[in-house]
Amino acid sequence: MDLNPIMLAAGAEIMRIYATDFAVVTKGDSSPVTEADQRAEAIILAGLKHIAPGIPVIAEEEAAAGRFPTTAGTFFLVDPLDGTKEFISKNGEFTVNIALIEDGKPVLGAVYAPALGKIWWGSAGKGAFMAEVSEGVIGEARPISVRQPEGGLIAVGSRSHGGAETQAYLEAYTVADFVAAGSSLKFCLIAEGRADIYPRMGRTMEWDTAAGDAILRAAGGRVETLDGLPLRYGKRFQDNDGDYANPHFVAFGHLSVSR
């Protein structure tokens, strides 16, 4: 299943709005939303309905409106514009994210950073790839994989979130450098072998992480909860949290990077 044409279409609409004096609205959970989020999601929903009409979609803006389709073992998770704060500040570090979930695992994912001109994708058993995008055309794909670190680790963290808890977690490791990045780019940096570890001690939703998680797993990495279990998807009707909310987690590169 090729998600990239849908990614490019959504990215083109996002960039069209990015060039304008767009308005920002605050949602009920105090997070910002723009016309770009809404228009990109509409494009993605239409595209997925065309290529996979029988697979339900959990999408961020639909979820914010209280619209959750019934899902079984297989469904899509969509974040049409991950890193809305980065979009608003116009630093370029925002992404389009689509993932396919099967039995709680992200088995296919694509992440597109339209302002940076880069796209990543990966699937279980087929590996992970990235390519440059120029004028809406994807260039030559190259395979990517996590690196085996030599010496200190390169940690990556959020540009918009973070704090003492993340720093405390990293004290257990020899960290040579820390890189800040927005949106799901953090997963992609590890998948490319440009970073080794990403602890996230703040709130995220499944659509924030699924696509990057799928790519990282396809590149040889993993994403675990703090008790060492793989991060799972489809967490609706949770007793201790909201629908599709993630617990704290850590993304790792090479198997040699472990607690």
60 annotated to a ligand binding site: yes
193 annotated to a ligand binding site: no
CA 237 – CA 108 distance, rounded (Å): 24
213 annotated to a ligand binding site: no
29 annotated to a ligand binding site: no
Backbone angles phi, psi at 20, to 5 degrees: -110, 175
81 annotated to a ligand binding site: yes
Query: Judging by beta carbons within 10 Å of its beta carbon (0-12, 13-18, 19+), is residue 185 exposed, middle or buried?
Result: buried
103 annotated to a ligand binding site: no
Which uninterrupted H or E stretch holds 172? Answer: none
Query: Judging by beta carbons within 10 Å of its beta carbon (0-12, 13-18, 19+), is residue 135 exposed, middle or buried?
Result: exposed
Dig out the tokens for 101 from the structure.
């979930």
Sign for the pseudo-dihedral over CA of 244, 249, 250, 255: negative
61 annotated to a ligand binding site: no
Question: Which residues contribute to the annotated binding site for Mg(2+)?
Answer: 60, 79, 81-82, 208
Question: Which residues contribute to the annotated binding site?
Answer: 60, 79, 81-84, 208
Question: Which residues contribute to the annotated binding site for substrate?
Answer: 60, 81-84, 208
